[in-house]
Amino acid sequence: MTSDWLVSYRPTPSAASLAAATRIVALPHAGAGPTVFRQAAGLLPDDLELLAAELPGHGKRLSEPPHRRSETLIAALLPAVVAAVQGRDWVLFGHSMGAFLAHELCRALRRAGHALPRRLIVSGRRPPNYPAPELDLHKLPDADFVHELTRRYDGIPAVIRNEPELLQLFLPVLKADFEVFETYRFSDEPPLDLPIAIWGGRDDPQTAQMDGWADLAAGPASQRLFDGGHFYLTDRPERFARALAEETTNDRT
């Protein structure tokens, strides 16, 4: 399946298996497109199909203006996800900014009366009700923004940092993504009625701030730690794919 919003790099091999496959909707970190999941998607078993989000301003949608508020982004993403998972067994995964969006998407699905995913997997980000420990980044001048982002996350690849033209193309989208979650204000709602898995890299400072995710879901909570930092999932895609398959299938009926 391929759409403007959701891209599958590895469709399951036959129509019959495609109909039976569990779908994993995966939301990437700030500034990223669906390609961050490309390697891992190709390593999943045949009965799992990963659909990676491609947001406006990212990847092949570079010419579209990026969203700057979570409300408009979730409202636009919601119908694409509903159409992709209608009547299907599915799991939702989000990393960093994607974890924040995954939680908000689940709350929007519930408000609209749609079925929730069988499991929510959040990775590499503090829960949305946890106060930000540092000042907003999206308001900083470009040079300060790059410095702080590199210090906190090692978040801009050197190949982009060292190429001024690439950096100038990349920064507006990245700043818009940070504006999405840095302008968000949490509102109380009942915990989501689903299990939640909390993932993080052992060397990522965000991991120490993730415990509060368990309070946002009424189902069982589990934790999985990986060797590595904030980008553990792309550093070792085979390890990430194996964990994703285990987490997705361990309670499937």
Taking alpha carbons only, the member of 15, 136, 5, 17 closest to residue 82 is: 5
Residue 113 C-alpha from the chain's centroid:
22
| C-alpha distances in Å from residue 45, one per residue of 50, 72, 87, 206, 242 | 10, 34, 21, 30, 9
pLDDT tens digits along 26-57: 999 998 899 999 999 999 998 899 999 999 99
* Average pLDDT of the segment spanning 141-146: 82
- 167 burial via Cβ count (<10 Å: 0-12, 13-18, 19+): middle
Enumerate the domain spans of the chain: 6-131+185-248
Mean pLDDT of 217-231: 94
Which sign, positive or negative, has the C-alpha torsion 158, 163, 166, 172? positive
Packed helices 164-182 and 70-85: angle between N→C axes, nearest 10 degrees: 90
- For residue 121, is pLDDT > 70? yes
Does 73 or 155 have the greater pLDDT score? Answer: 73
Pick the CATH number of 6-131+185-248 from 3.40.50.12500, 3.40.50.720, 3.40.50.1820, 2.40.110.10: 3.40.50.1820
Which pLDDT score is estimated for 56? 96
pLDDT averaged over the chain? 88
- % of the chain residues with pLDDT over 70: 87
pTM for this prediction: 0.91
Cβ atoms of residues 167 and 161 within 8 Å: yes
What pLDDT sits at residue 16? 46
Residue at 241: amino acid letter: A
Q: What is the DSSP letter of 185?
A: -
